[in-house]
Chains A and B, each alone.
Chain A
Amino acid sequence: GAVVSQHPSWVICKSGTSVKIECRSLDFQATTMFWYRQFPKQSLMLMATSNEGSKATYEQGVEKDKFLINHASLTLSTLTVTSAHPEDSSFYICSAAVGGYEQYFGPGTRLTVT
């Protein structure tokens, strides 16, 4: 299957700082990438849909000024958590669409805000 990478795999930051998470499709071009958040023992929650060269579409309740998404190329999308707070601590996962329907997930980034 298609390979999606994320960096970093885990990060600890202080409250009030910003953190950038990268999502890359390694062996294919992804016109669309998706960002999810997952709290312990809960379901995946879609945060936003990211299309190359255009603004991301955010799900209801997700603050676009807090979670900045940039899809600069067909292989890279970034999520920046600005002014992070402890309640932003979560598992952030990206996925990339192949051929329109199939989606492959990155390994995820575990964010801890102290």
Chain B
Amino acid sequence: QKEVEQNSGPLSVPEGAIASLNCTYSDRGSQSFFWYRQYSGKSPELIMFIYSNGDKEDGRFTAQLNKASQYVSLLIRDSQPSDSATYLCAVNVQAGTALIFGKGTTLSVSS
């Protein structure tokens, strides 16, 4: 059974702080890794994807991948109240197949 694990939270951080979201996956054959943000009542929005070990930065977001540890994380710098949402980690084993999602981590940024 391929699994993606996330801490459900809620993770609470003050405005301006760094939010760190973590995810582990069970299938070593996983090829690609995604972070989606989902606001309540809305569909998921793709924030970042990463394929190779290391860091990938895009604005305030940094995705980190460690395939040896089967671990992927998302850092949000200078967190804003508008970042408050559920963050879904997803992995893909093979192109064209469905993503395997974690249950999501709820982030709350207080002003």
For the residues of B in contact with A, the DSSP-based class is loop
Query: Could you list some 10 contacts between A and B, CB below 8 A?
Result: A34-B99, A43-B101, A49-B97, A100-B96, A101-B31, A103-B46, A105-B43, A105-B46, A106-B43, A108-B42
B45 at the A/B interface (Cβ < 8 Å)?
yes
CB of A93 within 8 A of CB of B96, answer no
Report A-chain residues with C-beta under 8 Å of the C-beta of B88: 44
State in angstroms the CA–CA spacing of A95 and B46 once bound together.
11
Known: A100-B96, A101-B31, A101-B32. A43 touches B46 (CB 8 A): no
Report the count of interface residues on A (CB-CB < 8 A): 22
A107 to B36, CA, bound (A): 13
List chain B residues, Cβ under 8 A from A13: none
How far, in Å, is A23 (CB) from chain B's closest CB? 11
Cβ proximity bits B56-85 to A, threshold 8 Å, 1 near / 0 not: 000000000000000000000000000000
Assess whether A80 is interfacial by the CB under 8 Å rule.
no
**Contact of B14 with A by CB under 8 A:** no
Among B45, B51, B98, B103, contact of A46 (Cβ-Cβ < 8 Å): B98
- Is residue B92 within 8 Å, beta carbon to beta carbon, of the partner chain? yes
Contact across chains for A44 and B101 when beta carbons are under 8 A apart: yes
Instruction: List chain A residues, Cβ under 8 A from B49.
Output: 101-102
